[in-house]
Chains A and B, each alone.
Chain A
Amino acid sequence: MMDFIVIPILALLAATAVTVARIRNLWAAVMFTGIYSFLSASWMLILDAPDVAFTEAAVGAGITTILMLATLSLTPRRHRKSGRLSSEDFEERPSKSPLVPLLIVTITGCALVYGTFDMPHFGDPNAPIQVYPQPSFVEKSQPDMHGLPNVVTAVLASYRGYDTLGETAVIFTAGIAVLLILRKNTDDQGTSESQSVTGENA
């Protein structure tokens, strides 16, 4: 029964990935990445990971698509003669021999596939993640957390609270970095010809 859902989703994922790589229209490519994220979210839900599915749907399909579209709307679509590269330059450039990239990709792919041989099988009861810690977080989080049922939250916020603090600091740092980069240019361009809607950015 599950196959009727699993196989179409995986097939659509593969089809979307190939489409994103082949399509030349950037707007369409961004929309396809959004579709890809949404399909991944559905796939996570099938794998019983609703927390991850949540994040993937909200971040991948929502925010990332918006930010990519915002970036596209800022970049020029016309060809510039003044020497700087635009998207047409990349298309017009004569392609060199595809052999070297193909070789590198093949070797990297083989190395990655070779690396997966050491991994435990999917759902293997003797895999390290199933046997450590003993008793597992699922069993010991009930008495530890005084009956909070969501083990994922218990691990994220309590057992691994220090890691999550670091992750929050990473998000904070990323936000500050984006702000610094984008703001500097607004200052450089000056306010005379600026039609920017954010007046208080300066």
Chain B
Amino acid sequence: MNSFPIIRVITKLLIPYILLFGLYVQFHGDFGPGGGFQAGVIFAAALILYGLVYGLPAVHKVAPPKVIEKLTALGLLVYAGTGLACMLLGGNFLDYDVLKHGILTENHFLPEGQHLGIFLVELGVGITVTAVMTMIFYAFAGRERVTS
């Protein structure tokens, strides 16, 4: 893709907006359509687009495979950890009502209770989906063509 300047320039222009849209879908998912899964895929799409146009070494600098591999597990741990935190606070597994803290909660400034639980859980889903999609792309793109 080195010889397509238009594609390279347009990609650089587009990627910030794709990432911003991913963040919007992630963190606005409890108010509008969206959520962790969709946001994760959009985020991974931005990384994959970068990898397609600029090549794998470039995208490996942005998101090193070792980090991505650990993020796959981290997202799941955030999800399950939220559930365990609820248990430690005296509720049932994933029963977010116990996650109340009462700090700066007017007008949903900081989430609490159910809202905080949903926020954390969606964050976990988003991290895992981003990492898995990116990792699958790395696995495919890192292989050579079967010749002979």
Write the residues of chain A forming the contact surface with B, with a CB cutoff of 8 angstroms.
50-51, 53-55, 58-59, 62-63, 66-67, 70-71, 73-76, 80, 82, 144-146, 148-150, 152-154, 156-158, 161-162, 164-165, 168-169, 171-172, 174-176, 178-179, 182-183, 185-186, 194-198, 200-201
Contacts and interface: CB of A to CB of B under 8 A. Distances in A.
Nearest to A68: B140
23 contacts: A62-B41, A70-B140, A74-B143, A80-B148, A82-B148, A144-B114, A148-B114, A150-B32, A152-B33, A154-B118, A157-B35, A158-B94, A161-B96, A165-B94, A165-B121, A171-B128, A172-B73, A172-B132, A185-B143, A194-B144, A197-B56, A197-B141, A198-B56
A183 B139 contact: yes
A62 B146 CA distance: 25
Q: Which 6 A-B pairs have the closest CB atoms?
A: A175-B132, A198-B142, A50-B33, A70-B140, A58-B41, A161-B94
B66 A200 contact: yes
Interface size bracket, B side: 35 or more
Contact of B48 (A66, A148, A161): A66
A59 B139 CA distance: 18
A164 B82 CA distance: 13
Contacts of B66: 200
Contacts of A66: 48, 52, 137
Interface on chain B toward A: helix, strand, loop, or mixed SS?
Answer: helix
A161 B96 CA distance: 10
B13 interface: no
Contacts of A58: 38, 41-42, 45
Contacts of A171: 128-129, 132
Interface on chain A toward B: helix, strand, loop, or mixed SS?
Answer: helix
Given A178-B139, A182-B139, A74 B65 contact: no
B61 interface: no
Given A172-B128, A201-B142, A146 B65 contact: no
Contacts, number: 164
Nearest to B105: A146
B140 A71 contact: yes
A164 B125 CA distance: 9
A145 B48 CA distance: 36
Interface in B103-148: 113-115, 117-118, 121-122, 124-125, 128-129, 131-133, 135-148
A201 B140 CA distance: 12
A51 B44 contact: no
A55 B115 contact: no
B35 to A, nearest CB: 5
B75 to A, nearest CB: 7
B131 to A, nearest CB: 7
A142 to B, nearest CB: 11
